[in-house]
């Protein structure tokens, strides 16, 4: 399974939430034993422009080799004034020294991350979540992985990029995240690859993805709020409330997707159990999911 970097959304596309200003590849890592880091600078709304961020980035590039750092990419959220930098380095202190010498703008947060195989979104393709309800006991993780490999062999024919999937083994449900021109392209991919057609489609926009932590259980929950009853901005607000509460229940909300037309929101999270996730939503904003699925992420 194609995987993203732990902060996947930062390494693929904006989807209306991020303004990706540059993806500067400065060359292969000079030492594969180095670690990957994402550092975050919170400057504040209206306090920094794309031109200023690019200028600071160029200063970083002029200094990085001194500290054995390779700054691979950066992304800029112009609305919030946040900058996200992806680097490889021996340690975070080396990155800090690079920024300090280059421009004096020190990170507010650091994340040490692992990298998978990145699947890039194609141009302005749409993002979809499709669900296959195959039935309890009717399919195994091995079966799903085999079907996924068949999808990957066919997808380019229909201009589809299958980015990730999750499998609820107890219920036999499979959730696929794809970029494509339309749902018909995804349906044709599945039909030709293995014949397992989709039971539900959601055209979604994506939230800001966070890093997975440890080996906690992974859950997908679904909120059915009603057609026209929710906007991406509403969901982003609710998500921020979740993030403020989640630590209390041992939850790590990784990402969310919203289908504004159908009024459906899907959340991906790590949690000790499903009730911890439900309690997080209940206390944060009172929007309880219609269902919660314990899932495994494809490899």
Q: Which region among 1-15, 131-145, 224-238, 248-262 has the lowest average model confidence (pLDDT)? A: 1-15
Q: Count CB atoms within 10 A of the CB of residue 156.
A: 11
* pTM confidence score: 0.54
**pLDDT for residue 104 is more than 90:** yes
Q: Are 198 and 190 in contact (CB under 8 A)?
A: yes
209-299: same fold as 121-206? yes
The pLDDT score that the predictor gives to residue 216 is 65
Q: Domains of the chain: which residue ranges? A: 8-113, 121-206, 209-299
- Four-point Cα dihedral 264, 268, 271, 276, nearest 10: -10
The CATH number of domain 8-113, selected from 3.40.1260.10, 3.30.310.50, 3.40.50.2000, 3.30.70.3090 = 3.30.70.3090
**Measured between alpha carbons, how far is 84 from 110 in angstroms, rounded to an integer?**
10
Q: Which region among 28-32, 103-107, 149-153, 172-176 has the lowest average model confidence (pLDDT)? A: 28-32
Q: How far apart are the first and last CA of the chain?
A: 4
Distances (CA, A) of 233 to 13, 17, 244, 259: 18, 10, 17, 12
**Measured between alpha carbons, how far is 222 from 62 in angstroms, rounded to an integer?**
47
**pLDDT for residue 20 is more than 60:** no
The pair of structure tokens assigned to 17 is 């939430």
CATH number listed for the domain at residues 209-299: 3.30.70.3090
Distances (CA, A) of 11 to 77, 116, 162, 270: 13, 11, 15, 21
The pLDDT score that the predictor gives to residue 299 is 55
Phi, psi torsion values for 191, nearest 5 degrees = -60, -45
**Measured between alpha carbons, how far is 286 from 58 in angstroms, rounded to an integer?**
45
- Is 290 strand, coil or helix? coil
Of 27-36, 51-60, 211-220, the range with the highest mean pLDDT is 51-60
CATH number listed for the domain at residues 121-206: 3.30.70.3090
């Amino acid at each position: 399974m194609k995987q993203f970097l732990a902060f996947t959304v930062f390494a693929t596309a904006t989807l209306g939430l991020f303004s990706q200003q540059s993806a500067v590849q400065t060359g292969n890592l000079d030492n594969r034993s180095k670690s990957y880091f994402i550092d975050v600078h919170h400057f504040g709304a209206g306090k920094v422009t794309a031109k200023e961020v690019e200028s600071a980035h160029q200063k970083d590039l002029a200094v990085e080799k001194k500290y054995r750092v390779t700054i691979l990419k950066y992304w800029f959220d112009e609305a919030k004034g946040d900058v996200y930098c992806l680097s490889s380095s021996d340690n975070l202190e080396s990155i800090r020294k690079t920024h300090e010498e280059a421009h004096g703008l020190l990170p507010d947060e650091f994340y040490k991350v692992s990298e998978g195989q990145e699947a890039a979104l194609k141009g302005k393709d749409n993002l979809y979540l499709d669900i296959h309800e195959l039935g309890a006991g009717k399919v195994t993780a091995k079966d799903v992985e085999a079907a996924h490999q068949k999808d990957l062999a066919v997808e380019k024919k229909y201009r589809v990029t299958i980015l990730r999937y999750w499998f609820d083994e107890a219920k036999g449900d499979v959730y696929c995240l794809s970029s494509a021109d339309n749902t018909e392209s995804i349906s044709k991919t599945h039909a030709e690859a293995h014949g397992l057609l989709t039971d539900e489609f959601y055209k979604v926009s994506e939230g800001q993805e966070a890093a997975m932590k440890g080996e906690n259980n992974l859950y997908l929950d679904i909120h059915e709020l009603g057609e026209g009853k929710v906007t991406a901005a509403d969901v982003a607000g609710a998500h921020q409330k979740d993030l403020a509460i989640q630590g209390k229940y041992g939850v790590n909300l990784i990402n969310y997707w919203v289908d504004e037309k159908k009024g459906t929101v899907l959340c991906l999270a790590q949690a000790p159990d499903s009730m911890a996730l439900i309690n997080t939503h209940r206390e944060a904003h009172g929007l309880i999911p219609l269902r919660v699925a314990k899932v495994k992420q494809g490899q």
